[in-house]
Amino acid sequence: MLDLDHRLLSPSILSADFYNLGTEAENALHCGANWLHIDVMDGHFVPQLSFGSKIVADIKRHNKCFCDCHLMVTNPEDLIDAFVAAKADLINIHAEATYHGDRYINRIKDAGCFAGITINPTTPVSSIIHYLPLVDMVLVMSVNPGFSGQKCITYNFDKIRELDNIRKDKGYSYKIEIDGGITMHNVQTVLDAGCDIVVAGSGFFGLDNDGKRQFADMIHNYK
Ligand code: DX5
Ligand code: ZN
C-alpha cells in the first residue's frame, strides 16, 4: 500500500530537455517534486516513441527518487520484467492495452513494485471496478496519451470524484493520480476532487524555478 503524508507532485520528464536530463531531473526534485513520472511510449499504443527501462536504471544509479512509470504500450506484460529489473517503484499499465490485467497487476505486485491501472479519457471507471481492490493506484488520463502539452479534458475530473467516493465506500486503499494538461491554474480543482498525485509535464517544466517551487507548494500545502 502506498502510504502518503500529503499530496504529491510527479513531474513528467517527457517535457524535460533530454540533452540535460540528469540536471533537469535533479532540479525538479530540488524544487519540490516528490516523484519522477516516466512516460514510456511504444509508437503503437500511442503514436510516439519515448524511452524504455534503461532510463529508470540510469536514474536509479544516481538518485534514489521514486520512479512512477507509465507504460503507454500495447502488451505491457512484455516490459514488466525489464522495469522491475531497472528498479521501477511503481508500474502503471493501461486497462485498454492488455486482455489479462489481473494477471499482470499481480505479477507487478509479486515482483515487489507498486501496481497501477490507467484509463484513457473515454474509458469509464465502471470498466476497472474489479481492479480496484487489487491496485495501489488508479491513473486517470486527462488527455489522450501520447504527447505532452495538450489541453486538459476536464470531464475526467468526475472520474477522480467517482474513484474517491468508491474507495471511501468500500475501504479500498488505492491512490488517485491525474495526468495530462495539469497546470497551476487547474491543480486546485483536481485536488478538491480527491486527487493524491499530480502529474505535470509542460505545466511544470515550462516554469522557472520559483514557479516550480510554487506549483509544488500548492500541492504539498493543500488541506
Ligand atoms: C501523455 C503523458 C503525460 C504527459 C504530461 O501522454 O502520459 O504524462 O507527458 O504532459 P502535460 O502535463 O504537458 O500534458
Ligand atoms: Zn504519463
Catalytic residue check, 39: yes
Q: How far apart are the C-alpha atoms of 140 and 118, rounded to whole Å?
A: 6
The C-alpha cell 512484455 sits at 78
Pick the CATH number of 8-220 from 3.40.50.1860, 3.40.605.10, 3.20.20.70, 3.40.50.1110: 3.20.20.70
CA 176 to chain centre: 9
- Which of these, 97, 100, 108, lies nearest to 42 by C-alpha position? 97
- Atom 9, ligand 1: residue with shortest CA distance: 148
Q: Find the mean pLDDT for residues 195-207.
A: 98
Strand order in the sheet with 137-141: 8-11, 197-200, 175-179, 137-141, 114-119, 90-94, 66-72, 35-41
The active-site residue, picked from 68, 89, 136, 179, is 179
Per-residue confidence band for 219, with pLDDT thresholds at 50, 70 and 90? very high
Q: Ligand 1 in contact with 186 (CB < 6 A)?
A: no
- Which residues on neighbouring strands pair with residue 94, listed in sequence order? 118
Q: Ligand 1 in contact with 181 (CB < 6 A)?
A: yes
Q: What is the end-to-end Cα distance of the chain in Å, rounded? A: 22
Task: Tell me which long-range contacts 152-157 makes (C-beta under 8 A, separation of at least 24).
Answer: 152/180, 152/181, 152/182, 152/183, 152/186, 153/121, 153/180, 153/181, 154/186, 154/189, 155/121, 156/121, 156/180, 157/189, 157/190, 157/193
Residue 178 alpha carbon to ligand 1 centre in Å:
10
Any idea where the domains of the chain sit in the sequence? 8-220
Instruction: Give the pLDDT score at 95.
Output: 98
67: helix, strand or coil: strand
Task: Give, as residue ranges, everything with CB less than 5 Å from ion ligand 2.
Answer: 39, 70, 179
Residue-wise pLDDT for 84-130, tens only, equals 999 999 999 999 999 999 999 999 999 999 999 999 999 999 999 99
Instruction: Give the pLDDT score at 210.
Output: 98
Residue-wise pLDDT for 15-50, tens only, equals 999 999 999 999 999 999 999 999 999 999 999 999
Catalytic residue check, 196: no
Per-residue confidence band for 179, with pLDDT thresholds at 50, 70 and 90? very high
- Which of these, 192, 157, 179, lies nearest to 10 by C-alpha position? 179
Q: Ligand 1 in contact with 105 (CB < 6 A)?
A: no
